[in-house]
Structure 1
Amino acid sequence: MPDSPPSAPVTDTPDAARTTVRSPDETRRLMRRNSFSAFMGGLLEWYDFGLYGWAASLVFQPLFFASSSTTVGLLAAFATFGIGFVVRPLGGLVFGHIGDRVGRKSMLLLTMALMGVATVAVGLLPTYESIGIWSVVALVLCRVIQGVAVGGEFGGAALIAAEEAPARSRGFWSSSAIMGGPAGSVLSSLVFFAFAAMPEEQFLDWGWRIPFLLSIVVVGFGLYFRRKLDDSDVFKEAMHREPDHVPVAELMRHHKWLMLRALGARLVDAPVANVFTVFAVSYVTTEIGGSRTVALLCGLIANAVLFALMPLTATLSDRVGRRPVLLAGAAIMTISPTVGFTLMHLGTGPSIILGVIIAWPIAGALIEGPMPATLTELFPTAIRCSGISFVYQMQTILGGAMPFIAAAMVAATGGEPWLLAGFLAVLGVLNVGSVLLLPEVRGRDLNAELHGRPVTL
């Protein structure tokens, strides 16, 4: 496929691939339903996934790694947190294949059910005091299942929203899929925050389990919202014309260079996000001297800011293009972590919270808001779910390891964050370079390759 921008102008009409003609009112109703379902699924899955991050910072060290020193136990807890990110590409490949060969709806129902089982299981686990090392094994297994499940979530949710959206507003509608992430994180923060306010003995004894057990209710709502979804006309046409193919093999054989460029387009965002939410919880309390309340508020407020800005940055990408918005976010994030740490080290509650906001969610929204539409427009329909899922989840491996890496870097420098800030700045520079190598894909026909208009990127 040639490395060129879309040949057709952006219009408000549906893609040529669509076989169903809808009125504007019908299109809006469909988009509201699909976008809400994508949003709710993301919210519910990230509620589950986010709980583990809070527990890794505050609970797992004394309950599952108590035989180690505090520092080693914290590193071990963050390592189990990172395992969930390491296996996410596997989930992306497995469920991406299901999404490309069976349908987007089927994969989304499977990922949600799997996530719910794993999260409830965490809330039921015996601790190290009860069964020794087997508690750690069970904890890691649950985290692996969580990682595989969430690895399949984003690709299907993004396509449920993006493939039916009018080309001119595809960024706005598809941003609903990624907005579920910060919304779920805010929800998990609020729930965990409420139980963390309990007396510490009660919280460590049983209170921390309740947010995980509540997941069964959360998943029930999610499955209810998703059962009414249908696969897009874009996908159905691709399956009619290309009934037999192996998406992953085609992706690896013909689109390696495209995947590398796409991988770099979010290289810095996930690491910075996890440094200033997950790692920051322990950093604020142990190195800066802030309270646990302030530490938890940092992540909650940062995710709320990200959530509020995402639809605005996605809409901006519909107006000016995907690449300028992504480039602005990456450029800002080369310096924002350093500014954030400087403010945090002033040591007051407001300065700590402001430092986290400056460090991540503003620039993060510029990167994440346009991301669902960008990835949707980069890949051909027949391998789109596999491509999006694999690329997006591969981007998170480094992010998942960052709490561990950050803790090690800060420990090696006697509690100072400047080595860590420099590392994040280097990632930001690499992110800028990757975005510059991407073509502008705003508004392209999602089935152009089936209509005799090759679009090689």
Structure 2
Amino acid sequence: MTTRTLEGYEDRAGAVIGSQQTASSRRRILIAGTIGTAIEWYDFFVYGFIAPLVFDQLFFPKFDQLAATIAVFATLAVGFLARPLGGLVFGHFGDRLGRKSVLLCTLLMMGLATISIGLLPTYSSAGAIATIALVALRFIQGFALGGESTAAILMAIETSPGNRRGFSAGVVQAAGSVGVVLASFAALTISRLPEADLLSWGWRVPFLISAVLVALGVYMRLRIEESTTFREAPEAATVPAIEALKSHWRSIIIVLFAEVAQTSYFYLTAIFTISFATRQFGVQKDVITRAVLLANLVALIAMPLIGVWSDRIGRKRIFLAGVVLAAVSMLAFYHAVATREPLLVTAAVVLAAGVIHPLMFSTEGSYFPELFPTRIRFTGVSIGKQFGTVFGAGIAPLVATSLFAQTGTVYAISGYYVALALAAVIALSFAQETSKSRLLG
């Protein structure tokens, strides 16, 4: 089997031996990955925050309120349904050709789709064509994020010393929170506009801002080098997905169930809560959007620290602790939100999305890739992660809305998440600890 240019490898202590990838190069890669990831997550999540506020009126005006809410969350789900396809396509080329080219392509694709959403006509002026275009653009967003969410992490950990992979992954994962913070801030700002201004032009501004952000991200990513670990690894199979499914299916299943628990928890306590709390419990829009913003500011600080912690005590136990705490917290979360007391609502959201969720989200950045060899790492992680996202975040708000509509109680939503968490705990019981092992070739 032929190999790519051999420029170095990591020993078990994490020292880089014979590598030509300098410390400054590694810093550029980490910074570029962090900035680009923040931009892509801003683009993806600004839709998630703004759609529940106004898209029911702009693109689904002929539905009653509950049906329109379900329709909005269905468009959210379209983005997640596209992510596995994006993960497979970009995973294939990422394992065959490299991580850098994927990072550039996904950033441009996401940015153009986001800007286009900001330019869309509404249902009142274009009818069903506007709704169809919205769904198509949301699909493109999900397709792009299916590659981005894995590529940036791989570049970070594949260029980091072995004893700092958790920290590097935590920094890139924290960039996701930066994107969510920016999106939350944008949603909070426009939510204060008069209703007429919000519906006429205000909702477009956060989407159009993406043009400036994407230009910055492309500039940063053009200046980075390819991952040394990728270049030194054996070449991938002609179809990496076949090798991944054949030889590493256990790791894929573990990643899938763990990702379902992680993503569904965040979406149930943050994204879904924006619409659910305002429409069902009467919580003020600015109270809940401010709570989500604060939660992500807390997570921004927590995730690098959790990454360092995982380098010291291991990834598996931290992720498991996050899953268990998430399940326990869900039993009381919606009752706290239902009080409509601003301080209690804020505390519940911050604890969930700012403290408990990072235990899972920060840790998975290094844990999932470490389960796979370099030659099929992009594809293996993408299959498990993106399909897990579909069954987690992609359908969780839709399922939660439907469960509440049928039962009229939040206990049904809590029970739904507890079942997902239990499945993740069972899957993770078959996983090994990876923090002290070197990356596989």
TM-score tier (shorter): over 0.9
Distance 1:287 1:441 in 2: 44
Alignment coverage as a number of residue pairs:
431
2:91 match: 96
- State whether residues 11 and 167 of structure 1, in contact with CA within 8 Å, keep that contact through their aligned partners in structure 2: yes
- State whether residues 57 and 281 of structure 1, in contact with CA within 8 Å, keep that contact through their aligned partners in structure 2: yes
Gaps of 5+ in 1: 1-7, 450-457
How far did 1:228 drift? 0.9
What does residue range 105-116 of structure 1 map to in structure 2 within 5 Å? 105-116=100-111
1:160 match: 155
What does residue range 15-54 of structure 1 map to in structure 2 within 5 Å? 19-20=18-19, 26-27=22-23, 29-54=24-49
- Provide the identity percentage: 35
Q: Deviations over 1:36-75 (max 9, x none)?
A: 1111111000110011111221111001000111111111
Pick one of 306, 323, 345 that aligns with 1:313. 306
2:406 match: 412
1:335 match: 328
Which 10-residue stretch deviates more, 319-328 or 351-360?
351-360
Distance 1:433 1:90 in 2: 27
| Residue 134 (str. 1) matches residue 129 (str. 2) | yes
Alpha-carbon RMSD across the aligned residues, in angstroms, is 1.6
- Taking structure 1 as the reference length, what is the TM-score of the superposition? 0.91
2:3 match: none
Pick one of 13, 16, 35 that aligns with 2:15. 13
Pick one of 220, 225, 231 that aligns with 1:230. 225
2:422 match: 429
Which 10-residue stretch deviates more, 386-395 or 55-64?
386-395
Q: Which amino acid aligns with 2:191?
A: A
How far did 1:312 drift? 1.3
Distance 2:70 2:76 in 1: 10
SS of aligned partner of 1:208: helix
1:401 match: 395
Q: 1:97 to 1:107 in 2, by over 3 A?
A: same
SS of aligned partner of 2:429: helix
Q: Which amino acid aligns with 2:19?
A: T
1:439 match: 432
Distance 2:171 2:383 in 1: 20
How far did 1:243 drift? 6.2
How far did 1:124 drift? 0.7
Distance 1:207 1:360 in 2: 27
Q: Which amino acid aligns with 1:74?
A: T
2:66 match: 71
Distance 1:253 1:128 in 2: 47
Q: Deviations over 1:129-180 (max 9, x none)?
A: 1111111110000000000001100211011110011111110012222212
Q: Deviations over 1:244-289 (max 9, x none)?
A: 5321121122111221112122321211111111111112212222
2:368 match: 375
Distance 1:70 1:94 in 2: 37
1:267 match: 260
- State whether residues 19 and 233 of structure 1, in contact with CA within 8 Å, keep that contact through their aligned partners in structure 2: no
SS of aligned partner of 1:438: coil
- State whether residues 111 and 152 of structure 1, in contact with CA within 8 Å, keep that contact through their aligned partners in structure 2: yes
Q: Which amino acid aligns with 1:397?
A: V
Q: Deviations over 1:64-119 (max 9, x none)?
A: 00011111111101100111011101101111111111110000000000001100
Q: Which amino acid aligns with 2:87?
A: G
SS of aligned partner of 1:152: helix
Distance 1:332 1:177 in 2: 23
- State whether residues 336 and 360 of structure 1, in contact with CA within 8 Å, keep that contact through their aligned partners in structure 2: no
- State whether residues 339 and 359 of structure 1, in contact with CA within 8 Å, keep that contact through their aligned partners in structure 2: no
How far did 1:183 drift? 1.0
SS of aligned partner of 1:54: helix
Q: 1:113 to 1:334 in 2, by over 3 A?
A: same
Distance 1:335 1:84 in 2: 29
Q: 1:243 to 1:100 in 2, by over 3 A?
A: closer
Runs of 4+ in 1 over 3 A off after TM superposition: none
- State whether residues 58 and 122 of structure 2, in contact with CA within 8 Å, keep that contact through their aligned partners in structure 1: yes
2:337 match: 344
- State whether residues 270 and 353 of structure 2, in contact with CA within 8 Å, keep that contact through their aligned partners in structure 1: no
Distance 1:61 1:244 in 2: 46
Which 10-residue stretch deviates more, 123-132 or 281-290?
281-290
How far did 1:9 drift? 7.9
Q: Which amino acid aligns with 1:194?
A: T
2:385 match: 392
Q: Which amino acid aligns with 2:136?
A: L
Gaps of 5+ in 2: 1-9
- State whether residues 34 and 160 of structure 1, in contact with CA within 8 Å, keep that contact through their aligned partners in structure 2: yes
